[in-house]
Structure 1
Amino acid sequence: MRLFVAVLPPESVADELAAEVAVLQGRPEADGLRWTGRAGWHFTLAFLGEVPEDVLPGLETRLGRAARRTEPFPLALRGGGRFGDRALWAGVSGDRATLRR
């Protein structure tokens, strides 16, 4: 199973992203593109690649522990782009050192 670690944006950030996505969707070159809904929007923290299913319970436990140890910290949307022709990305600014941990 191919996995990645991600966090979901707060509702206010999803609203901000939605406004920008609406602008992009209105561009002529966006005709015919398939857009995902807000439920699929996330910030990828790490790509794990292929992970055997028997590892999942322990992995979930360790990730939960790491999330509980990390105090909330501020980030702001900054910039963006695309990965090839398949995905858009949004950048962040702020306490990126904590984000990398």
Structure 2
Amino acid sequence: MATVVKKVISDLRITDINAELERRKLDKIGTKTVLAERLKKALVEEGKDPNTFQFDVLLDGNEDEFLGNDGTAGIDKRVSSVNGKAVGANTAQGRVRSGI
């Protein structure tokens, strides 16, 4: 079952950014940084604060995140190990990714 969560622009995946750009009929070519800047500019033109605006993002079950009891994105505390060492911890994002 897919679930919708709120995310700020810095937490969006490139596919989420592309979907927002497509919805606004903007160019979707470039690096994630370029695309995010393009989306920020569009938000400003819409009169929204790009640093605080929250996007509705559909989690499709293949996410590295889980939902907390309050329905917002929580922190996934799973850690993978390679040769006995933890790998993939992304503490700045509060997410753990394996195989990175």
Q: TM-score band, normalised by the shorter chain?
A: under 0.3
TM-score with structure 2 length normalisation?
0.25
Q: Which structure dedicates a bigger proportion of its chain to strand?
A: 1
